[in-house]
Amino acid sequence: MKKSLKIIGILLIIIVLGLFLIPILFEGKIIDIVKKEINKNVNAEVTFSDADFSFFRSFPNGSVELSDLAVINYEPFKGDTLFYGESVAIDVPLMDIIKGEKLSINSFTVDHGLVNIFINKNGVTNYDIAIDKNNEEESVKEDENSNASVNIKSYEINDSKISYIDENGITLLFNDFNHSGSGDLSAKITKLDTETKSFVSFIMDKQSYLDSVSIELDALLDLDLENMKFSFLENEAKLNQLPLTFDGFVKVNESNQEVYISFKTPSSDFKNFLALVPESYAKNIEDVKTTGDFVVDGKIAGIVDDKHIPKMNISIKSNNASFKFPELPKSIRNIYIDSRILNTTGITENTLVDIKRLAFKIDENAVDATARITNLTNNPVVHGKAKGKLDLAHIDKVYPLDMKNKLSGLVNADLEAQFDMEAIEKNIVSRIKTSGFFTVNNFEFDSKEMMNPLHISTAELVMEPTHVQLKNFDAKTGSTDLHASGTLHNILAFLLVDNQNLRGNFNLNSNKFVVGDFVQETETSSKDKDQESTASEGELKVPSFLDITANVSAKKVIYDNLELANVAGVMILKDQQAVLRNVNANMFGGTLSLNGGIDTKAKESSFDMKLGIKDFDIKSSVNSIEMLNKLAPIATIFDGKLNTEINLNGYLDNQLSPKLSTIAGEAFAQVVTKSLNPDESKAMQLLDNKLNFIDFNKLNLDNLKTNLTFENGKVNVKPFNFKYRDIDISLGGTHSFENEMNYNMVFNVPAKYLGSEVTKLLGNKTETQNMTVPVTAIIGGSFSNPQVTTDLESAVKNVASKLINNQKEKAIDKVFDKLLGGESSKENVSATTTTATTIVDSIDSTKSNTATEEKKPKKEDVIKEGVKDIFNNLLKKNEEKK
């Protein structure tokens, strides 16, 4: 016994070692065979990132797993991906691997695959990639010499996506596609057992007929591969939750396909209708109480080719049905459905959709509608009617919807429309007939995304042949009231045709409009803010479909801490722009005018605006309006009125607020004031302490004007002038939006204001009393922490030195006058010399009493000697002459 166990153990070890060693020994050879067979049969670029061979995935078969397998088209679809599989596994028998002669593919599995089938307008397909064989005999010979054969017994496709796009107008999409099948696909006649789950979308001629509809299909197929006929034997399907049984066949011929399929609901219970509700809204219908019936019965039979579709007759009916969910207080009753999809010719445009009646009742409010659509695929012709009343507050009382937002109001409508789609697209009014009305009363909508519920007391739309008239609209949200009337010109085109704008003209009035009633601020964490900085979601954009002109007027508009009165103007919403024209308002005791707009079309929204301000109270407006405060923060010291014109442009953030760092433009400002409050400016206080010759409370500010330019967060103030008594003052410089400043303030000061020493030097001479000296103050730092320096001390020194030099020059001139006047005697020369010396001594004495002059090495002696030398030279010359 022990010996037997030993032998078994050794055999197991050998088998396990073999399972490890065989893949290592044969992996390269098997992968080479796979590559060779692919390249031999496919006219496309085939790539994969990795290949792995193992016995453990599908023992006793071996498995070749290809990672990131891609099939990429050549011309005329060069670069397009026909197929991609994250993982594709192919199973082959163990003996085929050991023999190494020929591989037989038993099964395959595709995980996370993508199939893109495309047909261009000329009918050329991207999936026709098989290499053509010259003749049948050669093809057979190649198959015999091939190193691989297909003997598939099973297959799986998991979590994949399939798209079928025909540029002639058909799109079919399968998302979350899961499909499996088992059967001998190598036999000419076999049975294939399949299971399929997916979400299906179907679009034809830009019209969506299915949108992510859930389907489940368990089908046993009888495959006649020799005659290419596929018959449905035992088949059950679910459309959303609607069960269907069907049978029939599809036969593929060389030039067309034959189709015969019949289907119906297995029972007539009205729960079948509830099962049609999309899965995202579907509820548990097991305990729902129903009366009446619901039946779907259809046949599709005929030829499919370039000119024909199968004939069809699909009927959907319900007669006086009702349903009630046990947990809800109300029911829907008197339900009538009588509709049909019919085509008796096999010609596509002859398909008819006929809703003879669709009716229901909730309490005593009833809705009844009919519709008929002909010429379905060419130029659909629509004739529809709808009449009834509906209380919106009853919706969640008859069906258990997850209504996160409160909804109520009474809708009353009586509408009729007849048109064809070409007339709608080209606005051919003669072929569009609309009439009736649509009213809403006491409509209320509430959402967490809204600051306050929206209550519409009355809204009335009247359908005219060429337009829709908004007769009356009265609404309120928070403390804001809205009243509107106007016209919509192409509401049907907007609702039914892609890329159509909603055009209209309105008058919009309000007694009180509070911007905060429409804008909700949300607190976000730092993590959320980081995410917001890298995501474009939540950006405010002007909708691209709007083409609206509105005449707007409001007695009062409140925006944050600002209050505007008598607002009136024109607002245009078009091409993702909001344009304001001739908008005027009263605020801060003056008037404001606006012209310009914002453009949200580009990735980064921008604005370009012209503002006119007249008679604004300076202090109130600058303290309240951030823009004015950034442009002229120093203006808060003025008491008076502000007149200005501002042209500015820049970029907006995601919430359409200006990015201050991007603002650029120019402004002209006029200040109408007679006083200012220097105590409210730290810079002015520092300046006042340094300059004792000026009283800032008594500046002459009449007709103060200046020009500003601003760009990249920096404001440049062109120097402007004002006065204090007979002192001319000029101020100019720059500051940033972060309040860092660099200003120069120049005072042209009469010399008489610069101290008693300078006054003594001036004497009573008129020509010196009118002398002015520029004193410059440099204002830096920030508005909250300013730094002020002046050149007052050096200015006083300079004027004193200038006055001394002037007096010396005059004294010397007197000496020259006496010498050149003909006095030649020694006595006269001596007297003149004495006079000059006396004058120079007097100047020296005056200079020594000047407090502002610094001590220097006896410059006066140098001057004396210089004057004496001049005199001596002159005397010598006179003696030589004699």
Question: Residue 388 — very low, low, confident or very high, per pLDDT cuts 50/70/90?
Answer: very high
Written as one string, the DSSP assignment of 578-639 is EEEEEEEEEETTEEEEEEEEEE-SSSS-EEEEEEEEEEEEHHHHHHH-HHHHHH-GGGGGEE
Q: What is the pLDDT of residue 336?
A: 96
Contact predicate 554/561, CB 8 Å: no
pLDDT > 70 fraction of the chain, expressed in percent and rounded:
76
Average pLDDT over residues 489-508: 82
pLDDT in tens, 64-86: 788 888 888 888 888 899 999 99
The CA angle 750-755-756, to the nearest 5 degrees, is: 115
Average pLDDT over residues 12-20: 42
Average pLDDT over residues 150-168: 86
pLDDT in tens, 849-865: 443 444 444 444 544 45
Contact predicate 550/534, CB 8 Å: no
Q: What is the pLDDT of residue 635?
A: 80
Written as one string, the DSSP assignment of 74-92 is -TTSTT-EEEEEEEEEEEE
Question: Residue 390 — very low, low, confident or very high, per pLDDT cuts 50/70/90?
Answer: very high
The CA angle 214-217-219, to the nearest 5 degrees, is: 170
Given a cut of 50, whether residue 414 has pLDDT beyond it is yes
Given a cut of 70, whether residue 11 has pLDDT beyond it is no
Given a cut of 70, whether residue 761 has pLDDT beyond it is no
Closest CA to 396 of 291, 450, 325, 459: 325
Cα–Cα dist 767/751, whole Å: 12
Among the ranges given (103-117, 175-189, 276-290, 661-675), the one the predictor scored with the smallest mean pLDDT:
276-290
Q: Which element (helix H / strand E) includes 665?
A: strand 664-676
pLDDT in tens, 219-254: 888 988 888 898 988 788 888 878 888 899 999 888
Q: Which of 266-280, 289-303, 865-879 has the highest mean pLDDT?
A: 289-303
pLDDT in tens, 299-339: 999 998 878 889 999 999 999 999 998 888 999 999 999 99
Number of other residues whose CB lies within 10 A of the CB of residue 855: 7
Among the ranges given (88-92, 529-533, 568-572, 717-721), the one the predictor scored with the smallest mean pLDDT:
529-533
pLDDT in tens, 470-481: 988 999 989 999
Number of domains in the chain: 2
Q: Which element (helix H / strand E) includes 496?
A: helix 491-496
Query: What tokens appear for 689 in the block?
Result: 């302490």
Given a cut of 90, whether residue 203 has pLDDT beyond it is no
pTM of the model: 0.63
Q: Say if 29 falls within a structural domain.
A: no
Given a cut of 80, whether residue 343 has pLDDT beyond it is yes
Cα–Cα dist 330/323, whole Å: 9
Residue located via tokens 């390249």: 39
Q: What is the 3-state secondary structure (H, E, C) of 24-67?
A: HHHHHHHHHHHHHHHHHHECCEEECCEEEEECCCCCCCEEEEEE
Closest CA to 367 of 390, 349, 338: 390
Q: What is the pLDDT of residue 817?
A: 64
Q: What is the pLDDT of residue 619?
A: 84
β strands within 426-576, DSSP E = 433-446, 454-463, 468-477, 480-488, 502-510, 513-514, 546-559, 562-574
Query: What tokens appear for 159 in the block?
Result: 């979590």
Given a cut of 50, whether residue 742 has pLDDT beyond it is yes
What is the chain's percent helix, strand, coil content, to nearest 5?
25, 50, 25
Number of other residues whose CB lies within 10 A of the CB of residue 641: 19
Number of other residues whose CB lies within 10 A of the CB of residue 152: 18
CB neighbour class for 776 (10 Å; exposed up to 12, middle 13-18, buried from 19): middle
Tell me how far the alpha carbon of residue 740 is from its chain's centroid.
34
Buried b / exposed e along 658-679 (16+ C-beta atoms within 10 A)? beeebbebebebebebeebebe
Query: What tokens appear for 533 in the block?
Result: 């900085």
Question: Residue 153 — very low, low, confident or very high, per pLDDT cuts 50/70/90?
Answer: confident
Cα–Cα dist 866/860, whole Å: 10
Q: What is the pLDDT of residue 213?
A: 83
Average pLDDT over residues 643-672: 85
Q: Say if 822 falls within a structural domain.
A: yes
Q: What is the pLDDT of residue 256?
A: 87
Question: Residue 820 — very low, low, confident or very high, per pLDDT cuts 50/70/90?
Answer: low
Contact predicate 733/762, CB 8 Å: no
Q: Which of 119-128, 180-189, 470-479 has the highest mean pLDDT?
A: 470-479
CB neighbour class for 380 (10 Å; exposed up to 12, middle 13-18, buried from 19): buried
* Contacting residues for 210 by C-beta, under 8 A, at least 6 apart: 200, 201, 202
Given a cut of 90, whether residue 175 has pLDDT beyond it is yes
Residue 538 is classified by DSSP as T
Q: Say if 686 falls within a structural domain.
A: no
* Contacting residues for 409 by C-beta, under 8 A, at least 6 apart: 391, 392, 393, 440, 441, 442, 443, 444, 456
Query: What tokens appear for 485 in the block?
Result: 């009337």
- 3-state secondary structure (DSSP) of residue 93: coil
Question: Residue 487 — very low, low, confident or very high, per pLDDT cuts 50/70/90?
Answer: very high
Written as one string, the DSSP assignment of 139-167 is HHHHHHH-SEEEEEEEEEEEEEEEEEEET
- What 708-711 contacts at long range (C-beta under 8 Å, 24+ apart), as own/partner pairs, is 708/631, 708/632, 708/666, 708/667, 708/668, 708/669, 709/665, 709/666, 709/667, 710/631, 710/648, 710/663, 710/664, 710/665, 710/666, 710/667, 711/663, 711/664, 711/665
Query: What tokens appear for 738 in the block?
Result: 């972060």
Q: Which amino acid makes up residue 685?
A: Q
pLDDT in tens, 534-572: 334 446 678 888 889 999 999 999 877 788 999 999 999
Number of other residues whose CB lies within 10 A of the CB of residue 587: 21
Closest CA to 628 of 745, 560, 708, 741: 708
pLDDT > 90 fraction of the chain, expressed in percent and rounded:
25
pLDDT in tens, 502-538: 889 999 999 998 877 776 554 443 434 444 433 344 4
Q: Say if 233 falls within a structural domain.
A: no
Residue 225 is classified by DSSP as T
The CA angle 733-734-739, to the nearest 5 degrees, is: 135
Cα–Cα dist 87/328, whole Å: 49
Number of other residues whose CB lies within 10 A of the CB of residue 692: 10
Cα–Cα dist 130/150, whole Å: 16
Q: Which element (helix H / strand E) includes 733?
A: strand 727-736
Q: What is the pLDDT of residue 337?
A: 95
Given a cut of 70, whether residue 141 has pLDDT beyond it is no
Mean pLDDT score of the chain: 78
Closest CA to 30 of 59, 54, 48, 56: 54
Contact predicate 66/88, CB 8 Å: yes
Q: What is the pLDDT of residue 10?
A: 41
Q: Say if 192 falls within a structural domain.
A: no
Query: What tokens appear for 469 in the block?
Result: 């008239």
Given a cut of 60, whether residue 160 has pLDDT beyond it is yes
Q: CA distances (Å), 416 to each of 412, 432, 435, 464, 817, in order? A: 14, 11, 5, 10, 116
User: What Rg value do the Cα atoms of the chain yield, rounded?
Assistant: 48
CB neighbour class for 42 (10 Å; exposed up to 12, middle 13-18, buried from 19): middle
Residues of the domain holding 870:
800-881
Q: Between residues 6 and 152, which one has the greater pLDDT?
A: 152
Contact predicate 557/567, CB 8 Å: yes
Q: Say if 266 falls within a structural domain.
A: no
Q: What is the pLDDT of residue 439?
A: 95
Q: What is the pLDDT of residue 357?
A: 95
Q: Between residues 83 and 10, which one has the greater pLDDT?
A: 83
Q: Say if 823 falls within a structural domain.
A: yes
Question: Residue 403 — very low, low, confident or very high, per pLDDT cuts 50/70/90?
Answer: low
Q: Say if 711 falls within a structural domain.
A: no
Q: What is the pLDDT of residue 861?
A: 53
Closest CA to 863 of 832, 834, 837: 837
Query: What tokens appear for 152 in the block?
Result: 């598939």
Q: Where are the alpha helices (DSSP H) in 772-825?
A: 792-820
Q: Between residues 421 and 1, which one has the greater pLDDT?
A: 421
Cα–Cα dist 699/410, whole Å: 68
pLDDT in tens, 604-635: 889 999 999 999 888 888 888 888 888 888 78
Given a cut of 90, whether residue 714 has pLDDT beyond it is no
Cα–Cα dist 489/527, whole Å: 46
Q: What is the pLDDT of residue 634?
A: 78
Closest CA to 874 of 813, 829, 831, 839: 829
CB neighbour class for 600 (10 Å; exposed up to 12, middle 13-18, buried from 19): buried
Given a cut of 80, whether residue 497 has pLDDT beyond it is no
β strands within 330-429, DSSP E = 332-343, 352-362, 365-374, 381-391, 406-420
Closest CA to 763 of 736, 730, 729, 803: 803
